Amino acid sequence: MSYTYNPVTPEIIEQIKEAANGHVILGEDINEDFAHDEMRIYGQEYPDVVVEPRTTEEVAAVVKICNENKIPITPSGARTALTGAPVSVKKGVMISTLKMNKILGYDEENLVVRIQPGVLLNDLAQDALTHGLMYPPDPGEKFATVGGNVSTNAGGMRAVKYGCTRDYVRSLTVVLPTGEVVTEGATVAKTSSGYSLMNLIVGAEGTLGIVTEMTMKVVVAPQATMSMIIPYPSIEEAIGSVPKLFQAHLDPQALEFMEKDVTMATQKSLEKDVYPAEMDGVEVAAYVLATFDGNDEDELMDKIEKASEVVLEAGALDVLVADTPRLLADAWAIRSALLETIEESTKLLDECDVVVPITKIPEFLIYAKSLGEGKDYEIKDFGHAGDGNLHIYLCSNGDDKEAFMKESDEFMTKVYNKCVELGGLISGEHGIGMGKMKYLKNMVGEKNMELMRGIKKVFDPNMIMNPGKVCFDPEADD
């Protein structure tokens, strides 16, 4: 069956105002930023009402009103998503958690921190360091909210050693689509206590409830960190060196892969000169940016020396050690700005973040780039070489969005099929949102989509929470 929703009437607006203690934005006061995420091709739609709650109680009261009146809800953080997940495709009420941005406290003996969902990743990372701790998840967008990271199970640079956001969630306070409040998980390291409802919430992209408080694991900060810039004459040699670093038991904190063109463009944009275009007359094709950490400088230098031997034997042109704070900062500033450079030079942009076995990265990249031959778009890419998570961008400077979307669909269908053929998955960390739902269905099949919709129906009987995302299209027949 298909689902219909009710409009937000003036009477309901008054109820929401009272429930949210006046933390409500209406009409022309709703900023344009609330209408889209970072990937605008997936739609722009203003919600009827934006609520900016400060407490779990306010969220619960507003959600209860919406559920009773069958009004769609769109949970929202900093809206740095890339698949349309925080877009109010059915209008209704957007609940933004940006004002729920308090770090509530550390339990340093149990190595956890309690926070609200609107805390920015950068703020948590910096604050943890002042306690001698590290919050390991390190997605590229440092000004995303941690709540948003939880909703997509964001990965990032350090996932190769430390894992993804899911690995750091200890407990969640969640407002269900009915307005009921539950706590999932606990401040413990392991559980075998029934179905893991907490892990259903993580990565659900706001379709099963709204997280209003989180207890996150932290670790003792490493005493020493150092990065290596490793240039290669080919993509194959760059990726081929990655498994060898693991086989040598070097345990890298991060292993990032970058092709030359986008790296050079980013260097120019940032006015930094870190990555060489050639080495001893040999043109560089790709780079691996590797980071290692350790308990002291001696341990770290031992790792750097062993890693240098491994990559040079694997075909690296040289090893440049970022052994000063300035060089280290510049090397990572360029890596972090790659997407921004692509966005600034592109009118129409689409993206996929497939994850494939590490050894299949060259085959996948060569195939993906071959699809751009003779087309009006360019293929640009970079990614997390250590875990096989690649970001592939379809870039066009044309003005015909409809034609671009058609070409993008053809491209995405082919690369996702290739990804699955190679033993991968269609998203490593950015999620499905509304932009990738069709491809998810193609990958997992109708039965698995049916199971996902069944889970959603249990959590959300009226199907009001972030409709049109991940597995549920309100206009389609089940």
Q: Is residue 457 a part of any domain in this protein?
A: no
Rg (CA), the chain: 23
Please state the length of the chain: 478
Say if residue 253's pLDDT is above 90. yes
Give me 298's structure tokens: 């001696």
The secondary structure of the chain, three-state, reads CCCCCCCCCHHHHHHHHHHCCCCEEEHHHCCHHHHCCCCHHHCCCCCCEEECCCCHHHHHHHHHHHHHCCCCEEEECCCCCCCCCCCCCCCCEEEECCCCCCEEEEECCCCEEEECCCCEHHHHHHHHHCCCEECCCECCCCCCEHHHHHHHCCCECCHHHHCCHHHHEEEEEEECCCCCEEEEECCCCCCCCCCCHHHHHCCCCCCCCEEEEEEEECEECCCEEEEEEEEECCHHHHHHHHHHHHHCCCCCCEEEEEEHHHHHHHHHHHCCCCCCCEECCEECCEEEEEEEEECCHHHHHHHHHHHHHHHHHCCCCCCEEECCHHHHHHHHHHHHCHHHHHHHCCCEEEEEECECCHHHHHHHHHHHHHCCCCCCCEEEEEEECCCCEEEEEEEECCCCHHHHHHHHHHHHHHHHHHHHHCCCECECCCCCCCCCHHHHHHHHCHHHHHHHHHHHHHHCCCCCECCCCCCCCCCCCC
Tell me the pLDDT band of 478, cut-offs 50, 70 and 90: low
Give me 363's structure tokens: 């085959």
Say if residue 138's pLDDT is above 80. yes
Q: Report the alpha-carbon distance of residue 453 to residue 473 in Å, rounded.
A: 10
Judgement on whether residues 212 and 282 belong to the same structural domain of the protein: no
Q: Is residue 253 a part of any domain in this protein?
A: yes
CATH number at residue 301: 3.30.70.2190
Q: Is residue 458 a part of any domain in this protein?
A: no
Confidence (pLDDT) at 476: 83
Confidence (pLDDT) at 63: 98
Say if residue 195's pLDDT is above 90. yes
Judgement on whether residues 228 and 337 belong to the same structural domain of the protein: yes
Longest dimension (CA), the chain: 73
Task: Look at residues 63, 98, 133 and tell me which one is the last residue of a structural domain.
Answer: 98
Task: Report the side by side order of strands in the sheet with 49-51.
Answer: 24-26, 49-51, 93-96, 73-76
Say if residue 327's pLDDT is above 70. yes
Say if residue 477's pLDDT is above 80. no
Say if residue 425's pLDDT is above 80. yes
Mean local confidence (pLDDT), 324-341 = 93
Segment 217-237, tens digit of pLDDT: 999 999 999 999 999 999 999
Say if residue 61's pLDDT is above 80. yes
Judgement on whether residues 399 and 432 belong to the same structural domain of the protein: yes
Judgement on whether residues 387 and 401 belong to the same structural domain of the protein: yes
Say if residue 1's pLDDT is above 80. no
Q: Report the alpha-carbon distance of residue 466 to residue 478 in Å, rounded.
A: 17
Q: How many structural domains compose the chain?
A: 4
Q: Report the alpha-carbon distance of residue 433 to residue 87 in Å, rounded.
A: 9
Q: Is residue 269 a part of any domain in this protein?
A: yes
Task: Look at residues 40, 65, 98 and tell me which one is the last residue of a structural domain.
Answer: 98
Task: Look at residues 98, 122, 148 and tell me which one is the last residue of a structural domain.
Answer: 98
Mean of all residue pLDDT scores within the chain: 95
Say if residue 266's pLDDT is above 70. yes
CATH number at residue 390: 3.30.70.2740
Q: Is residue 464 a part of any domain in this protein?
A: no
> Is 296:222 a contact under the CB 8 Å cutoff?
no
Judgement on whether residues 386 and 424 belong to the same structural domain of the protein: yes
> Which residues span the domain enclosing 113?
103-220
Give me 170's structure tokens: 């200890």
CATH number at residue 149: 3.30.465.10
Confidence (pLDDT) at 378: 93
> Is 87:129 a contact under the CB 8 Å cutoff?
no
Judgement on whether residues 213 and 318 belong to the same structural domain of the protein: no
Q: Report the alpha-carbon distance of residue 81 to residue 85 in Å, rounded.
A: 7
Say if residue 7's pLDDT is above 70. yes
